[in-house]
Amino acid sequence: MKISRHGIIERPNNLPHISGAVVHGDTVYLQGVTPDPGGDITSQTRQVLERIDTLLATAGTDKSKLLAAQVWLSDMRLFEAHNAAWNAWVDRENPPVRACVRADLVRPGLLVEIMVTAGR
């Protein structure tokens, strides 16, 4: 089965670090998507979801084909506001399975990270 990689992210010295999306057959795996630091949880969640839409489109799919989502929040007190932004975005006819946990995120100022898997 063919594997294709989209949006390979390079770090200093032009070394490949990660792919934004990997397609294996008809399954699309996205990286953990983060926002720019700053802003509140609603704005950060919306920015992440916009980036997910873009990555999914690059891989030939969209949110109606989501299979699974993993959400990391820096503080579980942010859950209600995050969930409101998520619910406004997710395809209500085709919701994925989802897990949401608290985690220490990589960069200061990050409140949310989301990783999804979708079909094509």
CA 69 to chain centre: 8
pLDDT value at residue 19: 79
- Structural domain range at position 104: 3-119
Is the torsion defined by CA of 4, 112, 109, 54 positive or negative?
positive
**Rounded to two decimals, what is the model's pTM?**
0.89
Structure tokens of 74? 């820096």
Count: domains in the chain: 1
CATH number for the domain harbouring residue 115 = 3.30.1330.40
Task: Name every residue whose Cβ is closer than 8 Å to that of residue 10 and which is 6 or more positions away in sequence.
Answer: 16, 17
pLDDT value at residue 2: 73
pLDDT per residue as tens, the chain (120 positions): 676 776 655 445 555 677 788 888 899 999 999 999 999 999 999 999 999 999 999 899 999 999 999 999 999 999 999 999 999 999 999 999 999 999 999 899 999 999 999 999
